[in-house]
Amino acid sequence: MAVVSAETAGIRTTGLTKSYGSVHAVRGIDLVIAPGETVALLGPNGAGKTTTVDIFLGLARPDGGTVFVFGASPTEAVRSGWVGAMLQSGSLPDHLRVRELVTLLASYYPHPRRVDEVLDQTGTADIAGRWTNKLSGGQAQRVRFAAALASNADLLILDEPTAGIDVEGRREIWRAIRAVAERGKTVLFATHYLEEADANADRIVLIARGEIVADGPGSEIKAKVGSRTVKATLPGVELAELRALPGVLGAERHGEAVTLSCSDTDAALGALFGSFPAVRDVEVRGASLEEAFLELTGDEHGDQDAKVEASRPGNEEPG
């Protein structure tokens, strides 16, 4: 990760905290996002993604800590037209057609995109003439995305941009987001879908219970948890002995089978065969990002609501 100063950082925040009554939504977030970076804010429901993003947009005031957006306060950055946003919740105003709505949003910004281009990219060209309050959930979500895209702002903040959108639509939206990133814009999106974060962001900031639990490229996050799992049949060996092997982070036993999570499988395998010639059925598996995710955001503090969405279910309602 590049070192960025407050002046040149897209977003720089230190010690960010925000509580709603007794709920500590954000507790001490430090984050620097360089201009041009695409960052995913990944975390389970209630992790504090929306709260964090709302603070970056000047919609919520932090209880503590500092935030700079391109060196200015969030409110100043928004007023200057440097930020385009798609919020997690909210529906569209009535008595406007889709094209009018996108035109209206674009008109607020100093250097907006061409409306037709945006409608094409977001798959909303064919509903451009429809009333905004008579769209399906996914269509409305696409229009909200189109409105954010039209801003052509240097920083695009998207809170769960693909929630409730079908497969084809998701592909279109990510294509559009990557196109924005390729033009040197900074993109921050919140999601709880791993594949989305891994496939579309330069960097994943994993947050759970209001704190950053991991920050780096998808591969780095996997490495952090142990890049691979080794399974083998090995009766009568103490787990402590296995855990002491080089390259092994943890060991579990299910009957005769043992599972080792490893930071370095080569070293671990060598040591395993060397120390335990009786080992059989050795199998090496890559730990999925999902496992990393579950491990990092898991239930360390007995937090009941830290549920995790390990894989994408079918279509979901935004909200």
Partner 1 sequence: MKGTIHVRYEILRSARNPLLLGISWALPLVVFYAVAPEQRHALADCLTAPNGHGMTDCVSFPLYFMTAMAAYGAMWATIAPGARIARDRGKGWIRQLRTTPLRARTEAVAKVLASYLGALPALVLLYLAGVSLGVRLDAAQWFEMTGLLLVGLAPFVAIGIVFGHLVPPDAITVAEAGFVVILALLGGAFGTLFAGGVMLRVVKLLPSYWLVQAGKTAIGSGSWPAEAWIVVGIWTLCSVPLAALAYQHDKARV
Ligand X SMILES: Nc1ncnc2c1ncn2[C@@H]1O[C@H](COP(=O)(O)OP(=O)(O)OP(=O)(O)O)[C@@H](O)[C@H]1O
Q: Which residues are near partner 1 by CB under 8 A?
A: 57-61, 78-81, 83-85, 87, 89-96, 100, 103-105, 107-110, 147, 151, 157
CA dihedral (117, 57, 159, 212) positive or negative: positive
CB 292 to Mg ion: min, Å = 21
Nearer to ligand X, 112 or 210 (CB): 210
Of 80, 88, 259, 315, the residue at the interface with Mg ion (CB under 5 A) is 88
Nearer to ligand X, 204 or 269 (CB): 204
Contact predicate 139/124, CB 8 Å:
yes
Among 92, 161, 166, 176, smallest CA distance to 133 is for 92
d(CA 131, CA 278): 71
Angle between helices 137-150 and 98-107 (to 10 degrees): 30
Q: Give the single-character DSSP code of 210.
A: T
> 229: which 2 tokens?
């799992």
Nearer to Mg ion, 54 or 172 (CB): 54
Angle at 204 between CA 199 and CA 210, to 5 degrees: 135
Contact predicate 279/233, CB 8 Å:
yes
CB 185 to partner 1: min, Å = 16
CB 23 to ligand X: min, Å = 5
50 binds Mg ion (CB under 5 A): yes
CB 132 to partner 1: min, Å = 10
- Binding segment (CB under 5 A) for Mg ion, from list 17-25, 83-91, 259-267, 274-282: 83-91
Nearer to partner 1, 99 or 192 (CB): 99
> Total residues at the site for Mg ion (CB under 5 A)?
3
DSSP-H helix ranges across 12-109? 49-56, 74-79, 98-107
Residues binding ligand X (CB under 6 A):
20, 23, 25, 43, 45-51, 88, 192
Instruction: Write out the residues near Mg ion by the rule CB under 5 A.
Output: 49-50, 88
